[in-house]
Amino acid sequence: VETASLLIVAAGFLCLSWVGQLWQLYASYVVLGCGFASAFGLVSGKLVGAWFPVNRGKVMGVVTAGNNFGGMVLVQVATWVARVWGWRASCWAFAIIMAALGLCFMLAVRDAPMPFPVKNSASSTVNLQVPDEVSESGQLDADPGGKLPALALEVTEEEMGQQQQEQGREEE
């Protein structure tokens, strides 16, 4: 999604460099708006959540600050490029930069990190995979072979009966 969004932004800048009439200007800004909206807001939140689940707030703050700082600096660079080479050349330059960023993003960034073992407070390794087997006692067992500590969720028969009664009432 991020790569496609950055390529849409690049296409918007290319369209903007060829503007000759007012409707073309509006159409270029619609393309740019669609690309910028999906490239710089939604995707970064998803990636930060996947890569930094523990420090999500701090990292999202850094990402947001970086976006805002980049916007502040980009205006100065765009103004300088437009004065030196003209506004059409600056649109071409930003189209090339956005296309290059999109290709770099496609080659370098994955949606989520590879699964890895982490240490819990007892300093034993815990696998991050979802438990898939339930033992006879009603406990979820993360490691049926017994190599890892079990992740347990005990539900009494009384609680099970209450849950079934509540579900029966909801269905009626």
Q: Are 132 and 138 in contact (CB under 8 A)?
A: no
Residue 125 backbone phi and psi in degrees, to 5: -75, 135
Contacts of 162 (CB under 8 A, 6+ apart): none
Is 0.85 surpassed by the pTM of this model?
no
Q: What is the DSSP letter of 137?
A: T
Q: What is the pLDDT along the chain (172 residues), one digit of tens a residue?
A: 778 888 999 999 999 999 999 999 999 999 998 888 877 766 777 788 888 888 888 988 998 898 889 889 988 998 999 999 999 999 999 999 999 988 988 888 776 666 655 444 444 444 444 444 544 555 544 445 554 444 444 455 666 667 677 777 766 6
